[in-house]
Structure 1
Amino acid sequence: MSNERLRAVMASGGWTHGSLAEAAGVDPKSVERWVNLGRTPRRATALKAAETLGEDVHALWPSLRQARSARAVGPELVALYGQRADLPVSMYVDLLAAAREQIDVLVYAAVFLHEAYPRLNDLLRERAAEGCSVRIALGDAASTNVQQRGQEERFGHGIESRCRLALMHYRPLLGVPGIELRTHATTLYNSVFRADDEALVNAHVWGVNAYGAPVWHLRRNGGGGMFDTYAESFDAVWGTARPVEG
């Protein structure tokens, strides 16, 4: 089966088998097999090719979404992933879809969720309609901490733009009963995606983009543990955040 998404992206950018092969450091025959036979390159090669094309690697090769390097490590720390890129977006979607009482999202932007799952707002509306409390805290693009993060990750003003883009994605949820949207100006040590008693926590590492930093899957096991530490951290940030006005 051919990879029509890759074919279309290459065509729109004027890329040939040869030019993409040179940029990705492979033989043109390899690129030809990616396109015509639907072959999936090695992860490192796929990441380089996707970066060259300006496209999401998982959009070009969905099979690379398979989570890897996860292992169970304890009653609360269910699994540990070497980097966020190892997790398929379906893990986040399934986590949020299973929530019955509470959804908390603490990020600067995390636009990868809306980009990979355009129905995210619909999912959040459905959860809220079923009585689930939804709180979304996004980074304030004008804050010094967001700007500093861009410098540290060598992302420049890109992080500020992504904060504004995230706000644009979530803004249609303003006024939906059960859903609150705020912006915060805190130093973001971790992004938190919580659904009831489970959470995915994306640690942030100085100089490393979030997709390259570790993620741990937590499940509450009694009180006072790791899960509660991150839940309380969310509440502390939420208390400083400003409601988004319609």
Structure 2
Amino acid sequence: MPNERLRAAMVAGGWTHVGLAEATGVDPKSVERWVNLGRIPRQATALGTTLYNSLYRADDQLLANAHVWGVNAYGAPVWHLRRNNDGGMFDTYTDSFGAVWGTAHPMES
């Protein structure tokens, strides 16, 4: 199954199979497989970008904007989660945020 998102991102960015292959350090045939066959790049060849989510929380409701490489935030999915039970998706996102927040350090002036 072709990867239409990757194809669209390549068109929008002006990337060719050869250009993307050179930028990621893989063979152009690999890029062709990613685009035409929907193959997933191995982690060793994954593009060097940080994928993240934006979280907006109010009490027991949360909006999670799952950012997608090559797609502007307004075009990426937003999930509206409500906390119903312990251990659900809501808790997964809030626990993840708490873990990241716990590694933060105050900025020095």
**What is the TM-score when the length of structure 1 is the normalising length?**
0.28
Name the % identity.
48
| Coordinate RMSD, CA, aligned | 3.8
Which one has the largest radius of gyration? 1
**Higher helix residue share:** 1
Q: Structure 1 9/42 Cα, relative in aligned 2: closer, same or farther at 3 Å? A: same
Q: State the partner residue of 2:35.
A: 35
Alignment of structure 1 residues 130-169 onto 2, 5 Å: none
Structure 1 spans left out of the alignment, 5+ residues: 57-84, 97-101, 106-110, 131-193, 208-246
Structure 2 spans left out of the alignment, 5+ residues: 68-76, 85-89
Looking at structure 2, the residues matched to 36 and 199 of structure 1 have their Cα atoms a distance apart, in angstroms, of 37
Matched residue pairs, number?
Answer: 84
Q: State the partner residue of 2:70.
A: none
Q: State the partner residue of 2:78.
A: 118
The letter of the residue matching 2:5 is R
Secondary structure at the aligned position of 1:114 is classed as strand
TM-superposed CA distance for 1:118, in Å, is: 1.2
**What is the TM-score when the length of structure 2 is the normalising length?**
0.56
Q: Structure 1 205/47 Cα, relative in aligned 2: closer, same or farther at 3 Å? A: farther
Q: State the partner residue of 1:21.
A: 21
TM-superposed CA distance for 1:206, in Å, is: 6.6
Q: Which runs of 4+ in 1 moved over 6 A?
A: none
Q: Is the 8 A contact 2:6 2:35 kept in 1?
A: yes
Q: Is the 8 A contact 2:66 2:78 kept in 1?
A: yes
